[in-house]
Amino acid sequence: SLKSYENTQNTSETNLNKRTKSIYTPLELQFIELKKRYKDAVLCVECGYKYRFFGEDAEIAAKELNIYCHQDHNFMTASIPTHRLFVHVRRLVAKGYKVGVIKQMETAALKAAGENKSSLFSRKLTALYTKSTLIGEDILFKEIWFQTLIFNLDDSVEVEEITADVPDNYLLCICENGENLKDRKKGDIVIGIMAVQPTTGEVIFDSFRDCASRLELESRILRLQPVE
């Protein structure tokens, strides 16, 4: 009985918001666990026909996307419709944020027919977007919006949302090695670089000796113009 009581107390303390003294909902607890794993990303959490933001992510979304943000239980929250997900993801990425998309791993129909129909939807991170990796579904989504604009000219869609340009979004990795250099001058170093463009699959790599001013490295960076 004592052990059972202690477990109950520990569970209650874990589920309790120490600031508001109110109990976290199952969805809030799920978000907390996901946020611990992806602290540096703004998380979009699929909840039915909407994607929701929680806490500081909701405040960021409200500011950058110009959407409504309000208090709901223990967190500030904001939401967007599912069909507008990648429009808003692109906007957040353009502002310099890393964006994670959390999707439901079960459909409502299958869940209703299953044994765990009263439990929380299982969710997990399915995509993590940055400036150099905003490819795939989002590109397809732009094309769909472009077609929608053509056939529904009365609809209000911003031009930047449906442009189909594919820029040179290089992701650059730099490695330095100052050891084992013969005739080494102060500040000299061997630098290796690799640039990848996820959009096209292009890979560029080079290795070179550079001086203290890093002029060789600077010239390559200026030429590639990496976004990340």
Rounded CA-CA distance 181/186 in Å is 11
Verify that 202 and 105 share a domain, yes or no: no
The answer to the question of residue 127 being in a domain is yes
pLDDT of residue 153: 43
Verify that 132 and 34 share a domain, yes or no: yes
pLDDT of residue 186: 75
Dihedral angle over CA of 52, 90, 199, 145, nearest 10: 90
Verify that 201 and 128 share a domain, yes or no: no
The answer to the question of residue 44 being in a domain is yes
Pairing, β 189-197 against β 171-177: antiparallel
- Pure H helices in the chain: 2-14, 26-37, 56-65, 85-94, 108-113, 137-151, 159-162, 215-224
Token look-up 């630098």 returns 191
Rounded CA-CA distance 99/80 in Å is 14
Verify that 138 and 198 share a domain, yes or no: no
Verify that 217 and 115 share a domain, yes or no: no
The answer to the question of residue 12 being in a domain is no
Verify that 113 and 182 share a domain, yes or no: no
Query: Based on the structure, what is the number of domains in the chain?
Result: 2
The answer to the question of residue 21 being in a domain is no
Cα dihedral 138, 60, 101, 71 sign: negative
Verify that 31 and 125 share a domain, yes or no: yes
What confidence category does residue 167 fall into, taking pLDDT thresholds of 50, 70 and 90? low
What confidence category does residue 177 fall into, taking pLDDT thresholds of 50, 70 and 90? confident
Verify that 66 and 124 share a domain, yes or no: yes
Residues recorded for the chain = 228
* pLDDT above 90 (res 43): yes
Question: Residue 104 — φ and ψ, nearest 5°?
Answer: -75, 135
pLDDT of residue 91: 93
Of the three residues 143, 160, 194, the one that is the final residue of a domain is 143
**In 3-state terms, what secondary structure has residue 43?**
strand
What confidence category does residue 2 fall into, taking pLDDT thresholds of 50, 70 and 90? very low
Residue 126, domain CATH: 3.40.1170.10
- Domain hosting 126: range is 26-143
**In 3-state terms, what secondary structure has residue 209?**
strand
Q: Is the pTM of this model over 0.75?
A: no
Rounded CA-CA distance 201/170 in Å is 10
Mean pLDDT of 165-176: 80
Of the three residues 143, 161, 181, the one that is the final residue of a domain is 143
Verify that 73 and 109 share a domain, yes or no: yes
2 vs 14, higher pLDDT:
14
Verify that 113 and 208 share a domain, yes or no: no
What confidence category does residue 198 fall into, taking pLDDT thresholds of 50, 70 and 90? confident
Verify that 134 and 193 share a domain, yes or no: no
